[in-house]
Amino acid sequence: MTDWTSKYCDSLTELDRYRDLVDAVVALAAHRRPSIDPDAAHTRLEAIAHRVRCRVPHLAGRANAVSSRGTEGLMAHLHEAIVDELGIGCHEDVAVHPDAMDFGLILDGTPALPVPCALAYCGAAERIGLDVFGVDVPGRFLVAVRDGTHRRITVIDPHERGRIVDGTEFRDLIHAFEETIEPREMLKPASPATWLRRWLRDLAIASTRCGETHLLDSWSRLSEVTEDILGPV
């Protein structure tokens, strides 16, 4: 029988790509569903990326996604695959339940909370060569895509059907939380520690709301492990 706590701890030693972060959150989900297939999420994300690559073979791959037009083309087809076909972010009312944080279930169609929606986008975008990163915003978890020249950044809300968040809305989101914060300071890649802090916090909230309080000790212990291994943001 797999020791999922050890597997989670092992996953924290190398978090260079979003596929590594997927391994970590799958190990978290396995604390509720020990029989989980650890490769299923990767298989599903690769299938999404494959569909995009087949539609625009001349663009797929980091070496080709260098222009604004190339980035926009890949994003358009990724939106179709992630939102229109998979249904990520298409549910207005998402129950605050651990299933909504279970990445494998989410890729199978379970409505998701904001952080796993963002990871689904990043995990697929990375595989087709997009320069993508998560953006931790109070009450949201957004995604930003840079074109190959780093001159243009497009901010997306995967939890709301992958819609684009323009500069004015992004500024308003930040200032609604704290007026003195410079929005550009928030437009930076969320660290692996930030992703996992948010993930574990939401798991604890969801477990409490649905009565799965027997899991709270696990989430607390895993949060401590995350802090010990990854340190501060």
Note the pLDDT tens digit of each residue in 22-54.
999 999 999 999 999 999 999 999 999 999 989
Note the pLDDT tens digit of each residue in 66-124.
556 788 889 999 999 999 999 999 887 888 999 999 999 999 999 999 999 999 999 99
Which pTM was predicted? 0.93
Q: What is the residue type of 208?
A: T
| E strand spans, the chain | 131-137, 140-146, 153-157, 163-165
Cα dist from 54 to 30, 51, 85, 125, 189, whole Å: 32, 5, 15, 14, 29
Partner residues linked to 145 by β-bridges: 132, 154
Helix (H, G, I), strand (E, B) or coil at 130: coil
